[in-house]
Structure 1
Amino acid sequence: MRSSETTRRQFIGSGAVTGGMLLAGCISGGGTDTSSGETYTVSIAPMGEVEFDGPPEEWTALLPTYADMGFALGGGQTLGIQNHARFGTDAYEELPGIEFDEDDVVELTEGGVDRELFYEMNADAHFIDPHILTHWYGWEQSDVDKVRDELGPFFGNFIRRHSDEWHDYRYYSLYEALELMAEVFQARDRYEAYVALHDDMLTTIDERLPPAEERPNAMLLYPASGSGLEFFPFRFDDGGISTKQWRDLGLTDALAETDVGHYSYTDRGTLDLETLLDIDPEVLLVRNHGGESDSEFREAVLEPLQDDPVANEVQAVQDEAVYNAGYLDQGPIINYYHTERAAKDIYPDAFADATLFDRERVAEIVSGEF
């Protein structure tokens, strides 16, 4: 048993989660000196104010977005994750002196999300939007309440996309959510350092981007079957953080002027090759291949499209402008990595020699030596 377990169990949740709550992400008590046992609260929709008596020492996320944020803020590793294959930890491999041991992270979604795994992890805090557990994985509200009351609070908001009907409360941008997480971890200095790096990255992008009329339109897709020839369509103009890099790089969403739907938990409509050809995007961005090498991606995605008589007529396929779209979820570090890779893929003439983020600086921030 951890020596801090007694005090960590003094975390207080804010009552039952209600789907219709719309709360500003205001912060009260952030920066309180917790060495004397004082508490502080951080407010996030849909939970409202959540009380902490100190930065969580052992915590879990479900989605990599919050796992990346906690790691970036010096909080250490998440105890668990939704799907190891969708967690972009290859971004950490580029940070000098920084280690992340995926073998120490529990897979939470084998056969659903078992509540007993939460008791086995025994986390101080759960950086999870509870609506994911109730809407995706069949938890009852009483399950959420019990884990919150007996183990530690929930703190999180599903901000990957903005297309789910059940999400009728406030969304946050990547850096709005990161700021709230920084208040939880009492890591304001790290947050401000990431903001500065992010601002520098966007400045470099703005300086190098070609004029708007020379930027391609692009379509973001997720394979719907093993064949690689049927896809779920995703819009990247909806504000979700999983598509932030495409907006920052000035791409036009090829779906924006169409009546093609946007993937959500309740809309699993697919896009066939005939529709793809009708839209005829200049760039194709294909997900679910994060971590693959260029040759692996080419074999799995580009070559089947080239071999299909319909798909091969699409401009992006003919130009071989079909790129690995990376992972669904991203905190600040994975976003730096995604953005630089995307810039080099889509605008090679402008960004081939560009370094959009300083790996050594990120490593210093993670380790607290800055």
Structure 2
Amino acid sequence: MGDDSCQQEAPTRRKYLRYGGAVVGTGLIAGCIGQSDSESTPEPTGTESSSGTETEAEPTPESTSTPTEETSYTATMPPVGELTLDEPPSSWVGSYGFTADVLTALGQADSAVGMANPQFWYQGFYDFLDGVTAPAKEELTKFTTADRNIDLEVLYDLDPDLIAVDPNPIISIFGLDKQKAKEIRENVAPWFGNGSRRKRFGGWTQWPDGEPYPYLSLPEYIPKYAALFGEEKRGQALLDLYEPFIEDIRSRVPPESERRSMALVNGRYNPENRDGWVVYNPKSEIEKTWGKKQYRDLNVVDAFEGAYSGQSSIKVDFEGMLEYNPDVIIFNFGITYRDFQGTNLIQKQQELLQNHPVGKEVTAVKNDELYVGGTPYQGPIINMFQTEMAAKQLYPDEFGSYPGYGEISESEQLFDRQRLSDIINGTF
């Protein structure tokens, strides 16, 4: 039963929000224990549809005639559940590059103030989109430490309106105490993210309710974040561009007998020829994961299929590379490691293969089919560029040859850059 004698303080920086059925604020309780949502927080004027987008409630005579009616922004994302805000977040922190790219696509890049690690937010593709910018990575505050801890003082100092992060990898990898995660939610900002880049490892926690939670596909994030930021129209326009592009790519993949085999090689591991090549399985065990989504969409033929023994990768020497003999070698994370601390790690590995008596006999090396690959931290913008890139690298007869990073002429582009720019810039 609610207690009518319960006192509420007025909100300060951030208005009341409802999170997972509980009412939370910034350093205050926006309601009393035992109160229902209807007692503690005004009902939202919109609801989230099954796709995650907010749909407007049917107007009533009272609502159309009352200029002071409040609007709320509601979205639901496992594992954190439903989140309702009285106003869109004006600042946010992300994890690595994925949610940063999603929010950039929704026109929210300038509101970024920090990340778990800004180094992994690849921004190079934005250079090919008119008017699209993002904060320089060195201007974003990192709230994790080199020894894999979370810096609570930094996170509190950033004081964002939204933590666009799944708390579970922060708990599992960076050792954040679950009680501290709750305190952050109550005293700093709500968590709102879902870690679906790859299969979740053993020891992955399931906070806040201890129950396993589903993976989300890349497009599923767009309406959820769009609803929370009041960008439903932009989110739908983005999906209307993104999904037909992906479907077109899938429909044009050549028959299996005409697909060249590939090896997805670690782009950082072996520039000094230390102990072989780490080769990843390009096929995702979990269908909805998005870290290697472009290779799943392109239905690739993996030269190393059957060699992984249940693991996600295998290590081989030059002789092993020749034994499996891929037609194409793509260096994973290659766009990042083209210039890593002043060194082109991809070029060094290419030269190792080209100059080795066994390595140079590999079909991909003989035919100069050695390519820069993408980052697995790919939201919709990055994924569109990386899908186009991989399509041309693997199937040039169908999609046109790959001339090199950033060198695709307008007539050879597979999606409309200007349309994407307009959506991001809000001029669509």
TM more than 0.5: yes
| Partner residue of 1:67 out of 85, 92, 100 | 100
> Aligned match of 1:30 in 29, 41, 54?
54
User: By how many angstroms is 1:109 displaced?
Assistant: 3.7
Alpha-carbon distance change, 348 to 139 in structure 1, aligned in 2, over 3 angstroms: same
Counterpart in the other structure of 1:304: 352
How many angstroms apart in 1 are the aligned matches of 2:50 and 2:203? 23
Provide the residue aligned with 1:90 in structure 2: 124
- Name 1:19's counterpart in structure 2: none
Task: Say if 1:190 and 1:365, in contact at 8 Å, map to a contact too.
Answer: yes
- After the TM superposition, which residues 312-327 of structure 1 pair with which residues of structure 2 at under 5 Å, given as runs? 312-327=360-375
SS at match of 1:205: helix
Q: Which residue of 1 aligns with 2:87?
A: 54
For 1:36, what is the secondary structure of its paired residue? coil
Contact 1:242 1:328 in 2 (8 A): yes
Cα distance, 1:90 vs. partner?
A: 0.8
The number of residue pairs the alignment matches comes to 353
Match of 2:201 in 1: 164
Superposed counterparts of 1:1-370, under 5 Å: 6=12, 8=14, 10-14=16-20, 30-31=54-55, 36-77=69-110, 78-102=112-136, 103-111=138-146, 112=148, 113-166=150-203, 168-206=212-250, 208-222=252-266, 223-227=268-272, 229-231=276-278, 233-238=280-285, 239=287, 240-263=289-312, 270-273=314-317, 274-291=319-336, 296=344, 299-352=347-400, 353-370=411-428
SS in 1 for 2:265: strand
Query: CA 1:232–1:29 in structure 2 vs 1: closer, same or farther (change >3 Å)?
Result: closer
State how far apart, in whole Å, the 2-side matches of 1:79 and 1:159 are.
Answer: 23
Deviation at 1:28, TM superposition (A): 8.0
Q: Which of 240-249 and 101-110 deviates more?
A: 101-110
Partners in 2 of 1:312 and 1:115 — Cα distance? Answer: 50
Map Cα deviations across residues 24-67 of structure 1 (whole Å, 9 max, x no partner): x9578924589833434322111122222222110111121101
Shift of the 163–129 alpha-carbon distance from structure 1 to 2, 3 Å rule, reads closer
- Per-residue deviation at 1:178? 1.7
Q: Distance in 1 between matches of 2:169 and 2:270?
A: 24
Structure with greater contact order relative to length (CA < 8 Å, sep ≥ 6): 1
Deviates more, 1:317-326 or 1:169-178: 317-326
- Pair 64,334 (structure 1): closer, same or farther in 2 beyond 3 Å: same
Residue 248 of structure 1, CA deviation:
1.8
Letter aligned with residue 256 of structure 2: A
Change (3 A) 1:322 1:82: farther
64-73 vs 108-117, greater mean Cα deviation: 108-117
The letter for the 2-side match of 1:49 is: E
Unpaired segments of 5 or more residues in structure 2? 1-10, 23-48, 58-66, 205-211, 401-410
Measured against aligned partners, the alpha-carbon deviations of 1:165-197 in whole angstroms (never above 9, x if no partner) come to 345420010001222112212222112212221
Match for 2:106: what amino acid?
Answer: L
Task: Map Cα deviations across residues 310-338 of structure 1 (whole Å, 9 max, x no partner).
Answer: 43343323332222112121111111111
1:44 touches 1:155 (CA, 8 Å); kept in 2? yes
* 1:64–1:82 contact (8 Å) kept in structure 2: no
> Is 145-154 or 26-35 further displaced after alignment?
26-35
**SS class of match (1:42):** strand
The offset of 1:226, in angstroms, is 4.8
By how many angstroms is 1:117 displaced?
1.8
CA 1:71–1:189: 2 relative to 1, 3 Å:
same
**Could you say what secondary structure the match of 2:196 adopts?**
coil
Q: What percent of counterpart residues are identical?
A: 29
Over 3 Å counting, the alpha-carbon distance change for 1:262 and 1:57 in structure 2 is farther
8 Å Cα contact 2:337-2:346 kept in structure 1: no
Q: Deviations over 1:90-128 (max 9, x none)?
A: 111111122222143223444233122211211101111
Query: Structure 2: how far apart are the matches of 1:149 and 1:249?
Result: 43
For the 8 Å contact 1:9–1:150, the answer to whether it is kept is no
Q: CA deviation at 1:201?
A: 1.8
Q: What is the rounded CA distance, in whole Å, between the counterparts of 1:76 and 1:150 in structure 2?
A: 24
CA distance in 2 between partners of 1:81 and 1:337 (Å): 23
**DSSP-derived class of the 1:198 partner:** helix
Contact 2:222/2:235, CA 8 A, preserved across alignment: yes
SS of the residue 1:79 aligns to = strand
Contact residue 163 and residue 190 of structure 2 kept, 8 A = yes
> Structure 2 counterpart of 1:178, which letter?
I
* Deviation (angstroms), 1:296: 4.1
